[in-house]
Amino acid sequence: MKLDPLVLQEYPFQIRDAVQIQDRVFKIDTDVGPMCLKHSDRNEEKVLFIYSVLKHLLESGFRKISPPVPTKRGDPFVKMDGEIYFITKWISGVPCDFHRNNHLKAAVQTLGELHLVAKGANVLPRGKARAMYQRWPKIFQERTEDLKQFKNLVQEKVKKTDFEKKYLHYSDRIIDQAERACAHLSASRYKDLAEDAQKQGTFTHRDVADRNFIIARDRQAYMIDFDYCRYDLRLTDVVRLVERTLKDVSWKPERADFIINEYNKMAPLGANEYMVMKAFFQFPQKAWRVSNRYFKKKKRWQEEGYIKKLKQAVKNTDPKENFINHFTLEYCRQ
Confidence of residue 289 (pLDDT cuts 50, 70, 90): very high
Q: Check pLDDT > 80 for residue 2.
A: no
Task: Report percent pLDDT > 70 for the chain.
Answer: 99
79 and 181 share a domain?
no
184 and 289 share a domain?
yes
* Of 34, 65, 90, the domain-final residue: 90
Phi-psi category of residue 38: left, alpha or beta, with phi > 0 → left and psi -120 to 50 → alpha? beta
165 and 84 share a domain?
no
> Hey, is 12 helix, strand or coil?
coil
**pLDDT tens for residues 99-123?**
999 999 999 999 999 999 999 999 9
184 and 273 share a domain?
yes
**pLDDT tens for residues 232-264?**
999 999 999 999 999 989 999 999 999 999 999
pLDDT at 61: 98
Tell whether 261 is covered by a domain.
yes
145 and 84 share a domain?
no
Reported in sequence order, the residue ranges of the chain that DSSP labels E, i.e. its strands, are 15-22, 25-30, 33-40, 68-69, 78-80, 83-89, 94-95, 203-204, 213-215, 221-223, 230-231
67 and 215 share a domain?
no
Give the mean pLDDT of 23-44. 95
Q: What type of residue sits at position 21? A: I
What is the chain's alpha carbon radius of gyration, rounded to the nearest angstrom?
22
Confidence of residue 315 (pLDDT cuts 50, 70, 90): confident
pLDDT at 308: 93
Q: Distance between CA 318 and CA 274 in Å, rounded? A: 21
Tell whether 235 is covered by a domain.
yes
| Burial class of residue 16 in the structure, from the number of CB atoms within 10 Å of its CB (0-12 exposed, 13-18 middle, 19+ buried) | exposed
pLDDT at 43: 95
Give the mean pLDDT of 73-86. 95
249 and 179 share a domain?
yes
Tell whether 19 is covered by a domain.
yes
165 and 306 share a domain?
yes
CATH code for the domain in which residue 300 is found: 3.90.1200.10
pLDDT at 248: 87
Q: Which stretch of 21-30, 174-183, 230-239, 289-298 has the lowest confidence by average pLDDT?
A: 289-298
Tell whether 271 is covered by a domain.
yes
Tell whether 125 is covered by a domain.
no
pLDDT at 187: 96
Q: Check pLDDT > 80 for residue 290.
A: yes
Q: Check pLDDT > 90 for residue 60.
A: yes
Q: Which stretch of 194-203, 206-215, 315-324 has the lowest confidence by average pLDDT?
A: 315-324
The number of distinct structural domains making up the chain is 2
**pLDDT tens for residues 199-219?**
999 999 999 999 999 999 999
Under a CB-based contact definition with an 8 Å cutoff, are residues 174 and 157 in contact?
no
Tell whether 11 is covered by a domain.
yes
pLDDT at 333: 78
Give the mean pLDDT of 129-140. 97
Confidence of residue 1 (pLDDT cuts 50, 70, 90): low
pLDDT at 12: 94
Tell whether 131 is covered by a domain.
no
304 and 220 share a domain?
yes
pLDDT at 334: 62
Q: Which domain holds residue 243?
A: 136-331
Confidence of residue 4 (pLDDT cuts 50, 70, 90): confident
Tell whether 105 is covered by a domain.
no
74 and 179 share a domain?
no
pLDDT at 301: 80
Give the mean pLDDT of 307-324. 92
142 and 278 share a domain?
yes
* Of 75, 90, 105, the domain-final residue: 90
Under a CB-based contact definition with an 8 Å cutoff, are residues 307 and 166 in contact?
yes
Residue 192: which of 295, 275, 251, 118 has the closest Cα? Answer: 275
CATH code for the domain in which residue 38 is found: 3.30.200.20
272 and 157 share a domain?
yes
